[in-house]
Every structure is written in structure tokens, then in C-alpha cells.
Amino acid sequence: MSLRLGDIAPNFQAKTTAGDLDFYEYLGTGWGVLFSHPADYTPVCTTELGKTALLQEEFAKRNVKVLALSVDSLDKHLGWIGDINETQNVTVGFPIIADEDKSVANQYGMIHPNASETFTVRSLFVIGPDKKVKLTITYPASTGRNFNEVLRVIDSLQLTANYSVATPANWQEGEQVIVVPAVSTEDAIKKFPKGIEVVKPYLRYTPQPNK
């Protein structure tokens, strides 16, 4: 199965390091990040989970709940968390799914047979409050993810969900945004009282409306 943008993210029940969990109940009415790891006790994964733990407050500020997954056992997860906390100087406070039967991995297309028939690749999904997939990113096992980029994209997704804007290349929170083509310049002037900069009829900037 391959999930695409706009698809409903499948619900599931799973055993995690925080106890039994229903995915939809865990997310509630907020946003979610579900991301997979090839295996426990591996170096790149250890740094990724450490970085995610360091950013737990940043995710919480955005009403985002984080959930990790690998196909190893719950006992291995619990032991590995001790290593992550020790080596990365963090406290992992989010659940890690023990997906030993690969049921969640298969629902989300996290196993790519040409890369590995047994281990998950580094898949990441951002799920909106409507339980739809808003973002998918897939990395090979050898390359660690940039979680600051994940936060940047979430900022963009949450902004553009509420305003008729898009974000330009390399956009960061607080910078100018682009008025979407569906809004005429006349309407944009009324909609965005901070002002409109018209570079081309199709390229119009305005200050971030929620700042």
C-alpha cells in the first residue's frame, strides 16, 4: 500500500513503550507525526530519536503528537530508550511502536522491498486533524532526517490550512508568504491589510498574516 497526500491515514492499535495505543485516540483533534526506523540499537536511529526528544516542546507548541515505529520488540525498545537517553542527553517522552508483525508498516507502505524486505525505511507522515496525510518524506536507511525541516513544514501546513497563502522556497516562520492565485489582487488587498507586494500578477507577497 502506498499512501498519497490527501489519503485518510489508516487507524491502528499497537503495543508501544507507553502502553497499548489507538492511533486516532492518541492524536485526538490535533496533528501527528508518525515515523519509522529500520531497527533498534542502530546509530542513525539513535540520533534521530534523540533529536526528536530534544524537540518535544516544539512539537507540543504546534499541537503535534509524535509517534515512532520499528519492527523490533517492546523489550528491545525499552532497553534502547535507555541508550538514547544516555548518549543523546535527553528523555524520550513519546511512544515507540513495537510493530513485530509489520502490520502498521505494511498499512503505511514503510517496507520497500528493493531497499530491504524485512526492515522499514525512514518513512515520515504528517497527519492533520482531519486524519488525512498532509506530508510524506522517505529517506534511505543510511541518511538521518532533518527534524528542523519537519517542524518548518508543519509551520507551513498549519499556516496555509487557515489562510489563503502559500510559502515560498526556504520559507521560515515570520517571513513573507505568497498570496494564492485563486485570490484576486483586489480581494487580496482587502483580505491582507498588512499590504500586498505585486512582483508579477501571479507572484504577490504579503507579511505572514498570523504574526
Q: Which ranges in the chain belong to alpha helices (H)?
A: 23-27, 43-54, 56-61, 74-88, 103-107, 147-162, 185-191
100 is catalytic: no
52 bridge partner residues: none
Active-site residue identified among 27, 45, 64, 81: 45
Are 76 and 41 a contacting pair, CB within 8 Å? yes
C-alpha cell at 142: 543510511
The grid cell for 77 is 525498545
How many CB atoms are closer than 10 A to CB 124? Answer: 20
Which grid cell sits at 173? 516562520
The answer to whether the CB of 63 falls within 8 A of the CB of 104 is no
Determine the Cα–Cα distance for residues 105 and 134; give it in Å rounded to an integer: 18
CA-wise closest residue to 24 among 16, 35, 13, 33: 13
Catalytic residue annotation: 45
